[in-house]
Structure 1
Amino acid sequence: MLASLLLSGFLALNPFRAAPSVPFVAPVAAPASSIDACRIYGSVYLETDPYRRSYCFATIYQEPEEAFADLLVYKEDNKLFADKAGFWYLTPTRDFADYVLFVTDKRALADFSVTYTKSRSFAGCRKQ
């Protein structure tokens, strides 16, 4: 019993393999990038509870002026038609949403800003 334990421990250490070039170094994580607002479409739930902020995909600011918004959003009545950037179907529950976004009242804390438009043709990402 002791011999098999020692043999398995010796084989686990494996002194005959080639030494790694940099031992015991964790892989470098990619730098955190900002959220691309142009990729968000479909069913969206807007969270306002600050205690659930960590469960959200991104943080948005609802811009009152269209000129300063990063994304122009058209509210769809049917989930099937929300298939392009800027077309959102607002769900009443977070369980059925493709994206859960936290709405903040401070612009500096938001990942991007949105404003709502009444015309389908204006919806989408602004080129900056």
Structure 2
Amino acid sequence: MLSFLLSWLLLLAPPAKAAPRGSLDPCKIFGSVYLEYDPSRRNSCFGTVYVEPEETFADLRVFVESNRLFADKTGLWYPADNREFADYTLYVTTDRSRADFAIHYIKVRSFAGCRSTN
């Protein structure tokens, strides 16, 4: 009986990585990130991202870490090889209007993070 109740509660619980549309905060994304390019798997991703060629228009400046342990602050991402082991799975779109937020890759670690709102 206990296992039945536990199974029922797990069934009712929302998925751990799901976020409602429009409530995605890119300033809270760090750690291991898997970028998905397959449109058929878009709905199973945490959010949709656009890779912005210009830093000025990006919501988040991303520095790619070579060690997963150092990806511990906003904008510091470690590229995950497998979507199952990533902290976040993001679908990459080529249409800016369909993205939840835009990123720009940078080469200097200290500049990583969210765009200033000043």
Same fold by TM-score greater than 0.5: yes
Pairwise TM-score range, normalised by the shorter structure:
0.7 to 0.9
Task: Report SS of the residue matched to 1:85.
Answer: coil
TM value normalised by structure 2: 0.80
Task: Give the AA of the match of 1:34.
Answer: S
Residue ranges of structure 2 left out of the alignment (5+ in a row)? 1-19
Which of 39, 57, 63 is 1:74 aligned to?
63
Q: Which has the larger radius of gyration?
A: 1
Q: CA deviation at 1:92?
A: 1.3
1:20 corresponds in structure 2 to none
Q: CA deviation at 1:127?
A: 1.9
Say if 2:65 is the partner of 1:86: no
1:123 corresponds in structure 2 to 112
Task: Report SS of the residue matched to 2:49.
Answer: strand
TM value normalised by structure 1: 0.74
Alpha-carbon RMSD across the aligned residues, in angstroms, is: 1.2
Residue ranges of structure 1 left out of the alignment (5+ in a row)? 1-30
Q: Percent identity, please.
A: 60
Structure 1: 4+ residue segments shifted above 2 A:
31-34
Say if 2:32 is the partner of 1:43: yes
2:22 and 2:56 map into 1 onto residues whose CA distance is 24
Residues matched between the structures, number: 98
